[in-house]
Structure 1
């Protein structure tokens, strides 16, 4: 079968903090930021290389690092820092330094305030390195007293947060690569993997609530059995193949061809990505945020997701998010559709593989 997840001085960055990269023609005079002085040599980098450099600098600078993004037009890394000493280190490494107001610890604290005081169905939030703020998004279901409460909490965070409204409704896209069916519904296969030398595939965790035996057609013979399914908090599941079902490491492009998948990779903001799913087939876009928290309602809160502007619809759940030959994410949910657009969230593949002790293959 072919188919298609403090203080403003030195401190250790929290394990949950994510260095984000953002693309496309941003200017450097964004909120709270001062532009570096000229007379420096800025390295020309790909988005992936910029992400690697940002990760290294983030570890070296500790609490003086405040996130990063990728300027696709200049092909350069822009690193947010909180003082001139850290800015100098960034320049020496070949990046472009930007002194900002909010540290990663302060933005993390803002996220915790949102968790404590504004856990409202139909909301999401993610750290935006371009604005140096936590961007909070409310879908169309958030109104009345809940909308007023959310406005009050975000306003209380001052320059650390901003509030946006989505025209759609956040929900898991259950109903995805190739279609997989069970008695309780239809999802999409994400990526074929190997665990303990045996062939398996991964898909969305919320698909695991629909059934345990999965087939290639509604009512057809089972090709796999659910081994583990984690949702909410995470959104990934592992299915072990039955018998000798074909399991190539490839994604269905729905044009008679496939994209070979040879590895898993972490997402960076600004990365160009494609999504394959059994409802809407293949659509392209880019990563717009990392470490996103999404509240789908009914207590279904998922953390650590990849946020994108790639469209998706019910039935695309579990489907592949990929960049070239790299597996990036598993379709979780979002708002909108492939006519109007919207936001879509993905479970990072690297996290799912680590949890299951599996590898792409």
Structure 2
């Protein structure tokens, strides 16, 4: 072989190696970029109608606070808030990674007329979140579905809804509790929920021991029953929030607080629920939780369904509910 032929062969070999190296580098880079790409998620909030008056059951204002907090902390998550309890155009639920219901429940639960549609999305893998009264649905119509979809629900003549200060002294190691410190809060904390048998797939998130004062009311659909009285008398811990990993796939979260709008001014509460919503959407939660801060009293005052009464005292409310200042 001549020197010229050898030179040409070597040149071609070098070019091939260079091209091969470039291809490998490009492939590795693309794989790395794909691995690090944002996990785009869609959260749909279904906010219920006006309900209890100023400062309570503020479904629309509460959903907006949660949505804004999540989008600030996790730009890859898109949140859409729909008032009225159920969207006029059900197509907005398409491709929802999680559906959040914050509304009045019981016999007027917005889900009752749409169980088939809701079930289709949940059984396809969408996350499901119910806040406060939304965890209650009639035992014989919606109850079996919510037990399957949410892992637990408020069952009348079994569960109760007293107002009390729950002291959550210890939190489990879970993505939902990242960045959340133990806290105490005054709310209408429902408890003695009806859970799936053996609580299979359920992880209690907020657990406390209700005091005897929660049992001062007579027995009734929401106020008391022999079973819950025995447990409170024995000091049995009760679960006020839970995560549920559904056996067929998908994640759910139930939260019985949320009566008082002012508690969204507590960073630990807002972060816990925000973490939970994003977790049910299938996204990763940072090791220190989502970077959210409690809404200041000025934000909480605005956007509610009704105007504040003449007797409303913002500073007194801020102190009573430990609402954090805007500077925090």
Higher-Rg structure is 2
- The structure richer in helix per residue is 2
TM bracket, shorter-chain basis: under 0.3
- The structure richer in strand per residue is 1
TM-score norm. by structure 2 comes to 0.25
